[in-house]
Chain A
């Protein structure tokens, strides 16, 4: 088990090394994403500013908490963009055209390779910018923040990053069973887009069911911020962990069944 983990770490290091070598071959592909991702981030901030220009409060949250929320969601998104988004995004294509064949014949998890083979350093500035926003939000928040709350916040961010990853895998693994993903990736984009602007505490009724349970983007930054500002309750923490457990099991089952279901493509 330990040997397998050590081997996986060596494979991850080598995949990252190869990825850097590959993107450094073309200067535009190396420097371009820094500009593109930075511009997209600025656009998101402008949208946020326009939305909240005339809104002072959402529930118990003031402007500072909202800034914390935006920073947290951006951080989750940025970490995914840096590590795994582009690799995972290639899964449907590789399933459809049979490129999955060679991944299945190697003694290392195909999902591990997909996750780390297209890391994107161009999105690293997004992580730094998100951290700046979080620091600014923490400074302007109405709630006082203690060290234990910061530790809880980091814990929940890590939990939600895993959930974010699992959602990406689940949506793309559906290609194992259906030729098309029924444009589910657009649903994912819409969910992320909405939840990047609106915290989970703003959802009620059916919307809460959808964005807390079915497409849990609503809790991804909400729970970490709630833990940071001291609004995390035991039932809410249990719910967050339950959602993670359910989606982890779903991801594992879907991926394993999908691989068994894989029929390759005609050569």
Chain B
């Protein structure tokens, strides 16, 4: 059963074109020019209940705008939209009772108070009984292993701990859909991995549909069997995440730091240096050569090595090049 259905969904913003200089500003007091910007353009999307779907695209692609339309924060300019059988921008309480949203750059926690204090407010906002509240809170504090942090001022928590609290607050009322907008933004690798593990567990154990917006390829690859790529507001890929990486990912990004500057370090054909200092080397290399490159690097006794996915921009470019628009 599909719980999100979007047909020809479009969101257009009007932008004021300010003429240059004081003369232009005076002129614009009487006559203004506007340009239309399609943040989302004729987008079709169906999401089934229980899915964990990734929404990826470079900055300004329209991911956040799409999430805001799904949650009713903003109204679409045109097209049809149904989420859980509701038109989101009607902002009906019965609809809002069934979903949750976590925005990586906006917090719903009271910074000066504790996470427990915020949870009590949300208990009343969602009209939860004392027993449901206790049961759900215990489940998530155990799952996230944050029981000892519940009575600590939020402002003193680390970014990773704070994000766990955001997720507990969002999941307190057992939503059917969880919208996540860049939940791992700014988090280190360990915290990101923990968040991903919890999300997978919540999706599996509670059947929560998760729509994850991110421009971190690691998030999508680790979590989402299906992903949608959007660019300039248009959907350019909708399908298996594995296939996406198989077909369009050509390189990996390797970062290595050394206690001593390495000598005689050679890179394979096709490798491209991104950053190089005596103690640090960041480069991109074809994914087939990663194993041999790592073997070579290990011979230079590196202090640290990390292998990351290619940036989303490169994938988007390749999808365009091969003209595989959906």
**Footprint of B on A, CB under 8 Å?**
4, 7, 10-11, 13-15, 17-18, 21-22, 25, 98-99, 101-102, 104-108, 259-260, 262-264, 267
Contact = CB atoms under 8 A, between A and B. Distances in A.
Interface residues of B, number: 34
Contacts of B74: 262-264
B105 interface: yes
Contacts of B123: 14
11 contacts: A7-B127, A10-B124, A101-B73, A102-B108, A105-B72, A105-B96, A107-B93, A107-B97, A107-B125, A107-B126, A259-B91
Contacts of B73: 101, 104-105, 262, 264
Nearest to B104: A267
A114 to B, nearest CB: 14
Interface string B67-94: 0100111110000000000000101011
A254 to B, nearest CB: 16
B124 A11 contact: yes
A106 B110 contact: no
Contacts of A104: 71-73, 91
B101 interface: yes
Contacts, number: 75
Contacts of B298: none
B207 to A, nearest CB: 21
A14 B124 contact: yes
**Main SS at interface, chain B:** mixed
Contacts of A98: 106
A107 B90 CA distance: 12
A264 to B, nearest CB: 5
Interface stretch (B18-26, B113-121, B239-247): B113-121
B64 interface: yes
A18 B93 contact: no
A18 B121 contact: yes
Contact of A25 (B68, B112, B121, B126): B112
Given A101-B73, A267-B106, 17 more contacts: A7-B124, A10-B124, A14-B120, A14-B121, A15-B121, A18-B113, A18-B121, A25-B113, A99-B106, A101-B68, A101-B106, A104-B71, A107-B97, A259-B91, A260-B75, A263-B13, A264-B73
